[in-house]
Chain A
Amino acid sequence: MRRPRWWKPVANARGVPRWILLTGVGLVAFFLLLAIFAPLIAPYGFDQVTADGVRFGKQASPDAQHLFGTTVQSTDVLSRVVWGSRTAIEVVVLAVVFSLAIGVPLGLISGYVGGRLDRVLVLISDALFAFPYLLLAIVIAFLLSDTLGQGVFTAAIAITVVYIPQYFRVVRNHVISVREEPYVEAARALGAPRRTIIRKYVLSNVIQNVPPIATLNAADAILTLAALGFLGYGIQPTEAAEWGYDLQRAIDDAGAGIWWTGLFPGLAIVLLVTGFTLVGEGLNDVLNPLIRHRRIERPEIAPAGGGGALAQMADEGFGNPEVRRRE
Chain B
Amino acid sequence: MHRQGTSLRAYVLTRLALAIPTVLILLTMVFLLMRVAPGDPITAALGGRVSAEELERRQEAAGLDKPLIEQYVEYVGNSLTLDLGTTINDDRAVTSIIVDNGSATMELTLAAFLVAILVGVPIGLLAGRYRDTGIDISGRMFGIVVYAAPVFFTGFLAQLLFSNVLGWLPSSGRVSPVVEFELNQVTHFYLIDSIFSGSWSQFWDVLSHLILPAVTLGLLVSGVLIRLVRVNLLQTMKGDYVEAARARGVREHRVVVNHAFRNALVPVVTVAGLQFAILLGGAVLTEQTFNWPGIGAELVRYLNERDYIAVQGIITVFALAVVVVSLVIDLVNAYVDPRVRY
Contact = CB atoms under 8 A, between A and B. Distances in A.
Interface of A: 15-16, 123-124, 126-128, 130-135, 138-140, 142-143, 146-147, 219, 223, 226-227, 230-233, 244, 247-248, 250-251, 254-257, 259, 262-263, 266, 269-270, 273-274, 277-278, 281, 290-291, 295-309, 311-313, 316
11 contacts: A16-B136, A128-B29, A132-B280, A143-B36, A257-B165, A266-B156, A270-B149, A274-B144, A274-B148, A307-B274, A312-B228
B71 interface: no
A227 B322 contact: no
Label chain B's interface by main secondary structure. Answer: helix
Interface stretch (B75-83, B113-121, B262-270): B262-270
A228 to B, nearest CB: 10
Contact of A257 (B153, B164, B239, B240): B164
A232 B304 contact: yes
A60 B240 CA distance: 63
| Residue with the greatest number of chain B CB neighbours at <10 A, chosen from A16, A248, A270 | A270
Interface string B207-242: 000000000000000001001100110111011100
Contacts, number: 205
Given A127-B21, A306-B277, 10 more contacts: A130-B277, A130-B326, A135-B318, A230-B150, A231-B285, A248-B152, A262-B160, A291-B231, A302-B228, A305-B330
B153 A247 contact: yes
Contact of B281 (A134, A296, A301): A134
A301 B150 contact: no
Given A135-B315, A142-B303, A306 B273 contact: yes
Contacts of B38: 146-147
B127 to A, nearest CB: 11
B97 interface: no
What are the nearest 9 A-B pairs in CB distance?
A: A134-B281, A266-B153, A273-B148, A306-B273, A127-B25, A132-B281, A302-B267, A254-B159, A299-B239
A254 B240 CA distance: 53
Contacts of A130: 22, 26, 273, 277, 322-323, 326
